[in-house]
Amino acid sequence: MDIQEVKLKYEEDLMLLPNVVGVGIGEKEGKAVIKVFVTRRVPESSLKNHEVIPGSLEGHKVVVEEVDTLESETL
């Protein structure tokens, strides 16, 4: 599955996680990644297992990025 399809498949579930305000596609180290935007990063140990953002989805790296506000162009 390409990265756009994976993003669309998981976006709704990711948006339900604590502090998540957006999901997009970006680039890190020259590779396409799924970006999950949060209002604040919290230690994984303070989250329940089902609240943790996965490090990858279907082989695509997931990057968590803390943001103050989002503009529609970011997503």
Any idea what the Cα angle at residue 46 is, between residues 42 and 51, rounded to 5°? Answer: 80
What gap in Å lies between CA 35 and CA 63, rounded to an integer? Answer: 5
pLDDT interval class at 4 (50, 70, 90): very high
Q: On the CB side of 63, how many CA atoms lie within 13 Å of its CA?
A: 14
What residues make up the domain containing 10?
A: 3-66
- Residue 68 has a pLDDT of 81
CATH number, domain containing residue 31: 3.30.300
Token reading at 18? 């604590």
pLDDT (tens digit, 9 = 90+) per residue, 47-73?
A: 999 999 999 999 999 999 999 865 655
Alpha helices in 3-57 (DSSP H): 3-15
Q: Is residue 73 part of a domain?
A: no
Tokens of 10: 């998981």
Residue 48 placed within a domain = yes
Domain count, the chain: 1
> Does a structural domain hold residue 58?
yes
Would you say residue 72 lies in a domain? no
